[in-house]
């Protein structure tokens, strides 16, 4: 049944709402707020009657082009109004248990601009500009020192005679539980809380400066990521602040760190103090920071990957093959071989790997596999055809070896260097091609130029 005044896909259609209510009555499981998990009571929460959220289409992106000042203003009025309208469309608040994608959409053609100050003089000049322009200046920072992580925010309020300074600190935990990125996001929360807590009436320009671009970009991009629940809290605090202070013009900007800017250096000192478990009073902190934050999932993955690498290295060094391969490539296990062969054609990389593992089809190996009548070198017929004989001693290849020595000098006398040095790859494969030992199976083995490489 169609109703005049809305499109067929509109989620506010009366018929759709009635059918949806009937379905929810027949299937009570659809009223759970989260996917229910046995043994975890936090996932058994249900929506209050009549409060189940209705997903609505995202609003269209702004059609007009933003000016440079609006692009530079990370949390300006344009973005805040769009964000506030979409948050009000949700029937329930975001929680710390879900990391939800930010419910707003940006113009795909818009590329966020940031202040890419490169030297100390420009950074100091820009900071002085904001010092004259902004009545409220907040510097936030996160720190990981001596195995502990902390965050801090320092606010300067411009007054008639001198600036008033206020500080908030928060201790997150050990570096095995949290990351510096989390600390930077906590610093943003502390910065907003300082504005909301200290000033009863805010009007004019306020600026939050931090030296972490990842935190600024994460606050602007409409996608989820690590510690996204902190960004949800940041936007909720931002909306609350804007609702209380309509005349506030807030900007989040990047500042060049560790170049002697007073506010940034002060925030760094306070963050290190917070990392030593010197938090501010519990009642002075935002609500989400009055209890222990959940452990970082990305940090758990980092620790697990590091443990897996350590275990793999231990098992590899205990292997009977380690002593043989270590003579050629002592860096294993590592990604050195991948970096070395990423610009080589596939057949060159395969032959190099066989040379490193001593499984190259020379007569000694072929005879062991019963694919050759004798292990003796077919070129000189004087000694078994080992890798050392083929590369360093065979008199039949002396001319090609002389050309190789002229090109790379003493490096030509070391097998580990020949097989693991990027500088020797082109002359080395030129030597192999000149010997014609693998031409029948692999063809031309000279290394092509960069444009011809796969």
d(CA 318, CA 315): 5
pLDDT tens per residue across span 137-166: 899 999 999 999 999 999 998 877 778 889
pLDDT band for position 297 (50/70/90)? confident
pLDDT in tens, 33-68: 777 766 666 677 776 665 555 544 444 444 333 333
Q: What percent of the chain has pLDDT over 70?
A: 78
pLDDT of residue 39: 63
Mean pLDDT across the chain = 79
Q: Would the pTM count as exceeding 0.75?
A: no
pLDDT tier, 403 (very low <50, low <70, confident <90, very high otherwise) = very high
pLDDT at 259 over 70: yes
Q: Domains (ranges, CATH) in the chain?
A: 1-52 (no CATH), 122-300 (3.30.420.10), 336-442 (no CATH)
């Amino acid at each position: 049944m169609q109703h005049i005044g809305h499109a067929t896909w509109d989620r506010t259609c009366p018929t759709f709402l009635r059918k949806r209510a009937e379905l929810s009555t027949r299937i009570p499981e659809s009223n759970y707020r989260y996917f229910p998990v046995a043994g975890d009571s936090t996932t058994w929460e249900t929506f209050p009657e009549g409060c189940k959220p209705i997903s609505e289409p995202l609003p269209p992106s702004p059609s007009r082009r933003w000016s440079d000042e609006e692009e530079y203003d990370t949390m300006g009025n344009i973005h805040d109004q769009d964000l506030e309208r979409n948050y009000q469309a949700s029937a329930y608040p975001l929680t710390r248990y879900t990391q939800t994608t930010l419910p707003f959409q940006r113009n795909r053609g818009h590329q966020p601009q940031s202040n890419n100050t490169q030297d100390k003089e420009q950074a100091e000049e820009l900071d002085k500009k904001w010092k004259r322009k902004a009545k409220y200046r907040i510097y936030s920072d996160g720190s990981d020192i001596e195995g502990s992580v902390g965050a801090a925010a320092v606010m300067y309020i411009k007054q008639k005679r001198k600036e008033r300074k206020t500080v908030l600190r928060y201790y997150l935990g050990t570096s095995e539980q949290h990351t510096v990125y989390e600390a930077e996001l906590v610093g943003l929360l502390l910065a907003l809380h300082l504005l909301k807590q200290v000033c009863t009436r805010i009007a004019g320009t306020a600026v939050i400066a931090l030296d972490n671009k990842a935190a600024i970009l994460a606050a602007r991009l409409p996608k989820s990521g690590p510690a996204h629940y902190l960004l949800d809290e940041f936007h909720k605090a931002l909306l609350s602040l804007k609702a209380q202070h309509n005349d506030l013009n807030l900007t989040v900007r990047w500042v060049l760190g560790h170049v002697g800017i007073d506010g940034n250096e002060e925030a760094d000192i306070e963050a290190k103090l917070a990392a030593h478990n010197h938090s501010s009073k519990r009642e002075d902190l935002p609500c989400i920071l009055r209890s222990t934050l959940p452990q970082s999932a990305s940090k758990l993955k980092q620790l697990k990957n590091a443990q897996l690498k350590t275990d793999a290295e231990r098992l590899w060094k205990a292997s009977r093959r380690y002593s043989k391969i270590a003579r050629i490539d002592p860096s294993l296990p590592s990604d050195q071989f991948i970096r070395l062969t990423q610009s080589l054609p596939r057949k060159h990389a395969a032959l190099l790997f066989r040379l490193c593992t001593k499984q190259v089809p020379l007569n000694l190996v072929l005879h062991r596999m019963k694919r050759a009548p004798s292990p003796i070198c077919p070129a000189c017929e004087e000694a078994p055809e080992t890798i050392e004989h083929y590369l360093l001693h065979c008199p039949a290849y002396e001319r090609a070896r002389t050309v190789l020595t002229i090109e790379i000098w003493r490096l030509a006398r070391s097998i580990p260097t020949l097989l693991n040095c990027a500088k020797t790859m082109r002359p080395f494969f030129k030597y192999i091609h000149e010997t014609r030992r693998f031409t029948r199976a692999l063809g031309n083995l000279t290394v092509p130029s960069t444009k011809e490489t796969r």
